[in-house]
Amino acid sequence: MNKVDLKRILKKVEKPARYLGNEINSIHKDTKNESLVRYAHCFPDLYEVGMSHLGSHILYHVINKDEDVFCERVYSPAIDMENIMREKNIPLFALESREPITNFDFVTFTLQYEMSYTNILNILDLANIPVLKEERKLDDPFILVGGPCAYNPEPLADFVDIVILGEGEEVNLEVVNAYKEWKKNKTTREDFLFEISKIQGVYIPSFYDVSYNEDGTVKEVVPNREGVPQKPHKRIIRDVETVEYPDKLIVPYIETVHDRIVLELFRGCTRGCRFCQAGMIYRPIREKSVDRLKEILSNLVKNTGYDEISLSSLSTSDYSQLSELTDCLVEEYASQNIGISLPSLRLDNFSMEIAEKIQQVRKSGLTFAPEAGTQRMRDVINKGVSEEDLTNATRKAFEMGWNSVKLYFMIGLPTETYDDLDGIAKLAHEVIDTYRDVHNGKLKRAFGVTVSTSTFVPKPFTPFQWHGQDTTEQVREKQRHLVKKLKNGNIKYNYHDSKTSLMEAVIARGDRRIGKVIYDAFKAGAKFDGWSEYFNLDTWLEAMDNNGLDVAFYANREREYEEVFPWDHIDVGVTKKFLVRENEKARQDAVSPDCRHQCHGCGINASDITRGLC
């Protein structure tokens, strides 16, 4: 796209900086080099969201290290920009080169959220790339996906050529290197796909057939040719200490969702929360040393100019050297007015000493995640925290000068009762009482408790994958109940749209038949379905009905242990036997201790992929 055309268009759209490219630390290569492999990394949402995703920054850095590969960024254009592009027949372009991605070698997507899938189809359509994989010809790009939702890629099987299972730094480069060899002769697309199917961490949906039982459940998923794995394995980075990490982050011209340095402390989690997919699929835990983190951070501060550092991992406060690390960071960066922030904190290991250190530059908000309102419910989900933990943590915070806290809960969890919902309100009011106790019975004007609830969505590869989701009406009734219980001038209650969660559950546990639903919803205008102002449940229900599929079958139905799931042929290292065992413990309100202290035989340490890392 030439500069003159772009300049004219950008005068007519909101936030033109979304489409400029050329940000600080963006990478540019000579696209006239015909041997250059063109790789479009797409985040199927707005620029501000995609630019806040650490995984995208890591892959951008890693892939561009190869001089023969040019990784460029693509985001979903906002509605105003898309309308102009369609009106003027402008194909979707990559930010760095501003060239259409139609003729790229790879167009790849990170799957972070099921409700972004219509945006994936919209991006392909905007780029004039055939949406259905069976319609692509030899010179069309290969469509590749990865990320947490890729562990059940079946709803996208009609659209994608390649699925990356697990962590992508190494496997993406192996796929690209295989492509370089294939491109010399450029035989058939199937030849290339078959060659890379042998790479650990690669799954090719077209090489597997699905059959169904009369009741609509999956009968089996089996390879349809010899030489491909029966159970594709996820890929992990065994040595996170030496793996590539960006020494520069692209600095945007506009504010993004997370406008700061993000420092990854470790991968994996040992807590075993039974609703949490990430805690299962990212095992085993692997930490970076303090020295390595200091080295990374020194480069990032120098190369970005950010004044805030976010310490990021699934459970950041579990980092074994957190105290030592925060000492180093405060000593090094407080004098430069660079602040440190932590994501939501666990109540049972919240250290006020650490909190006191990190607030020296600026006092960030405090967010705790009890997840459930009663001890019974927290035991069911294996959260491993108590009401006493919350009281102690908030008391310490208020004594140190904090005037507000945020509390995150989940509603609709398996075995939940209205007593458990009342427990959420009880905890919020007890936080108010704790504040009064610390401040001699007074409530300052600045004081407030924010309670946020999200709706439980049963996810693949979790102990709760057999449970049904509450119906939309059940969720709404629970939200109305909490609105009444939390009516207090010092409490703000936020809750998530239950309609969106319903379709999230359908797609999360969907099989290949859901692909036709996604396609029909897209053709009917669905896009940005994760945004409440654009989501239209009726569009999705009509698409389900047109394909003879039932929402309750996917979202609300309880499953038997014997049922074959659409994702059962994928190997994430954690065994189904372990997940069944954890689900049974949940039914008994029994807790499994942190596996840093006691191994529960999840299977990850026995797997060929991860043996010896636990």
Q: What's the CA gap between 306 and 25, in Å, rounded?
A: 13
SS3 452: strand
Per-residue pLDDT tens for 397-450? 898 888 889 999 999 999 999 999 999 999 999 999 999 999 999 998 889 999
What pLDDT does residue 41 have? 98
Query: What's the distance, CA 204 to chain centroid?
Result: 22
Q: Rounded mean pLDDT of the chain?
A: 93
SS3 351: coil
Tell whether the torsion through CA atoms of 575, 577, 581 and 584 is positive or negative.
positive
Q: Residue 171 pLDDT > 90, yes or no?
A: yes
Residues 6+ apart with CB under 8 A from 417: none
- Please report where in the chains the tokens 């939309």 appear, as a residue: 472
What pLDDT does residue 334 have? 87
Q: Residue 524 pLDDT > 90, yes or no?
A: yes
What pLDDT does residue 340 have? 87
What pLDDT does residue 222 have? 97
Could you give the percent of the chain with pLDDT greater than 70? 96
Q: Residue 567 pLDDT > 70, yes or no?
A: yes
Rg of the chain on CA atoms, in Å? 24
Among the ranges given (115-119, 331-335, 477-481), the one the predictor scored with the smallest mean pLDDT: 331-335
Per-residue pLDDT tens for 6-35? 888 999 999 999 999 999 999 999 999 989
CB atoms within 10 A of CB 74: 25
Q: How confident is the model at residue 390 (pLDDT cuts 50, 70, 90)?
A: confident
Q: What's the CA gap between 356 and 172, in Å, rounded?
A: 41
Q: Residue 352 pLDDT > 70, yes or no?
A: no
What pLDDT does residue 2 have? 62
Pull the structure tokens for residue 213: 């039982």
CB atoms within 10 A of CB 519: 20
CB atoms within 10 A of CB 322: 19
Q: Where are the domains of the chain?
A: 3-223, 261-496+573-587
- Please report where in the chains the tokens 């007519």 appear, as a residue: 12
Protein fold of 3-223: Rossmann fold (3.40.50)
Q: Is 261-496+573-587 CATH 3.40.1410.10?
A: no
What pLDDT does residue 7 have? 81
Q: Residue 550 pLDDT > 70, yes or no?
A: yes
Give the DSSP per-residue string, 5-25: HHHHHHTTSS-GGGGT---BT
Q: What's the CA gap between 165 and 276, in Å, rounded?
A: 18
Q: What's the CA gap between 491 and 448, in Å, rounded?
A: 6
What pLDDT does residue 425 have? 97
User: With b meaning 16 or more CB within 10 Å and e meaning fewer, what string describes 131-157?
Assistant: bebeebeeebbbbbbbbbbbbbbbbbb
What pLDDT does residue 351 have? 67
Per-residue pLDDT tens for 237-277? 999 999 999 999 999 999 999 899 999 999 999 999 999 99
Angle (CA) 376-320-272 rounded to 5° is 30
What pLDDT does residue 446 have? 84
In 430-583, beta strands by DSSP E: 448-455, 491-495
Tell me which H or E stretch contains 292: helix 290-304
